[in-house]
Structure 1
């Protein structure tokens, strides 16, 4: 899901920042509104209690004694004070025992009751009448709790809507950037560099797309220059190298002494290495430019493999290796359609790598089997050193062991050629065993 993709994406960061900002702002405003409403409700309740106490005080008489009864849910206390003598006229049974209210018109909270006290001159003209009226604070607290929950739910819903709105808005704003990223990724995977679509927005995204297109043009020019150089240099070097090899081989046959023969043999070995490098560079430039020509034909894969292993018989024996070949006898035919010259180079390269990197006095296992309408050619060998990342071997100019000769192009070229022939080449390494596998369509 796109929502779970990149936990560090700009879109998610915008949503979180916007949601956090809205939460802090709205939470502060909600707390301010709640406090204001709370003060208003408390003041209104205070006025109601004071008015109620005043009315009860007006209806109370000392001579004759007249005491008004409290309403349901109210508590009442009446006291008469004259000459510093306090006389209790009436107190409700449920009146808080520890309640004491001072001041003429005051409000206090005792237990679960809110108490209001009013003091006035008694009708006899000598003493003071103190009236204390109380009501349960639960209705007020319940009303304040409902308002608090309403504000909390509103805050949560508003924050959720703000995050979703910020997520959608940031996605809409970053849509040109996503298009640029997708185009850049396709450019990275494609054989040819194509321009990135430029949004006509007149903002930084348009500037970014134009800058990246300019960069891609320079990269394309550099790559073309590199390919042209490799192709031209390879073509130009092949002829003089062939002439040098021929002349050295002729001179080697006509050498006078062993010292000259050894010297010419060393020079011939280096020329062959240089010729292989030139051939690899030419193949690489053709693969990069898409100009490598294939001539597919029907090939008996088992016959070709046996012929190539016979050519490598001397190199295998020289390193004290043992070759075990397994052919699928249950299959009527092991015929594949491929370019014979290119496939020969691929199989020779795989055999060369297996012989070069195999541990001495170990066995090479080569098999050709038919599986699920495919013909699988595989070669395994015991390696000297572990290969932590075998997938990198199919990249250009990468060597797992730099102590051996080579330039890191053989497996990359083989991989590309096999892919062009509609087949697949995979390499794997487990428990110091290296395995190369080529799958052909039967």
Structure 2
């Protein structure tokens, strides 16, 4: 019996369709999530910048020189107020931390105003960026978590959906495996005229051609067998009734050999006829044991001359 090749699950159409569906969906989800991440990061930047500028503007509005009026810093507020009268700069207030130049920890902005009594009041305002970076880090972490989850969900969804859509194909394969070439039955066609319908129709047309060729082959064997049996029977009869008493031994042996060859030809023709009857199911085969050694000797003897 021919050994069937091993079939792995990753070689199936279901796995390939699931992988294709997953790749497309994963690509779409990745683009969407990345776009959302970029938009969210942009909005966080914008919101943080608006808060920074608004707080700095409020500090600047509350600051005056004549008389000197300075706002008190709230919790978490850090700023520096400098007055420049074009002769010298006076630092009016400064509680900025020493590591204010570290952009990973702080965000700062500078705003100015020009009072009526002359000079420039500048406010350098700073806010801690740790909460901002924590929000960005959390958003990025969610992105790294959701992408693998989206990949798994897309793969499972594609695998299940492909199994559902390929059920008609598995049904066609199952019905095709049940087809008996001696008594060919056509496959039932799907109701919807989709690709599976055309595949079933092509298989049915192929089975029809196979059935026609099998019938033509059986008819040829039957016709050839009947046509050959008559002349072979006549030859065998003439050899059997031939008067051999007046012949020498060598000629008698030659006629005996010819008679055996004609009988062998008649057996071959009978085998052709039986083969056609077996294929059509009209002949029942009775199996029997045969001595292989005797059969080989018989064949060798027939070819001895």
Question: Is TM more than 0.5 here?
Answer: yes
Q: Residue 285 in 1 paired to residue 276 in 2?
A: yes
Give the Å deviation of 1:192: 1.7
Question: Which residue number in structure 2 is paired with residue 126 of structure 1?
Answer: 118
Q: Taking structure 1 as reference, are residues 33 and 131 closer, same or farther at Cα in structure 2, changes over 3 Å only? A: same
TM-score, normalization: structure 2?
0.75
Contact 1:252–1:261, Cα closer than 8 Å, also in 2: no
CA distance in 2, matches of 1:35, 1:353: 86
Q: Residue 180 in 1 paired to residue 172 in 2?
A: yes
CA distance in 2, matches of 1:200, 1:55: 75
Contact 2:85–2:119, Cα closer than 8 Å, also in 1: yes
Matches within 5 A, 1:48-67: 48-62=51-65, 67=70
Give the Å deviation of 1:157: 4.2
Question: Which residue number in structure 1 is paired with residue 262 of structure 2?
Answer: 271
The alignment partner of 1:223 has SS state of helix
More helix by share: 2
Contact 2:56–2:123, Cα closer than 8 Å, also in 1: yes
Q: Residue 138 in 1 paired to residue 123 in 2?
A: no
Give the Å deviation of 1:168: 3.8
Looking at both structures, which has the greater relative contact order when contacts are Cα pairs under 8 Å and sequence separation is at least 6?
2
Give the Å deviation of 1:181: 2.3
Q: Give the alignment's Cα RMSD to 1 decimal.
A: 3.8
Q: Residue 92 in 1 paired to residue 95 in 2?
A: yes
The alignment partner of 1:222 has SS state of helix
CA distance in 2, matches of 1:140, 1:255: 126
TM-score, normalization: structure 1?
0.55
CA distance in 2, matches of 1:227, 1:41: 84
Contact 2:26–2:154, Cα closer than 8 Å, also in 1: no
The alignment partner of 1:343 has SS state of coil
Matches within 5 A, 1:29-428: 29-62=32-65, 67-83=70-86, 85-92=88-95, 94-96=97-99, 99=101, 110-121=103-114, 125-187=117-179, 191-234=182-225, 237-238=228-229, 240-241=231-232, 244-245=235-236, 247-248=238-239, 256-257=247-248, 260=251, 263-264=254-255, 267-268=258-259, 270-293=261-284, 339=286, 342-344=287-289, 347-348=290-291, 352=295
The alignment partner of 2:191 has SS state of coil
Give the Å deviation of 1:242: 5.2
CA distance in 2, matches of 1:56, 1:130: 10
CA distance in 2, matches of 1:190, 1:262: 47
Contact 1:30–1:151, Cα closer than 8 Å, also in 2: yes
More strand by share: 1
Question: Which residue number in structure 1 is paired with residue 24 of structure 2?
Answer: 21
How many pairs were matched up? 295
Question: Which residue number in structure 2 is paired with residue 313 of structure 1?
Answer: none
Q: Taking structure 1 as reference, are residues 93 and 45 closer, same or farther at Cα in structure 2, changes over 3 Å only? A: closer
Contact 2:104–2:130, Cα closer than 8 Å, also in 1: no
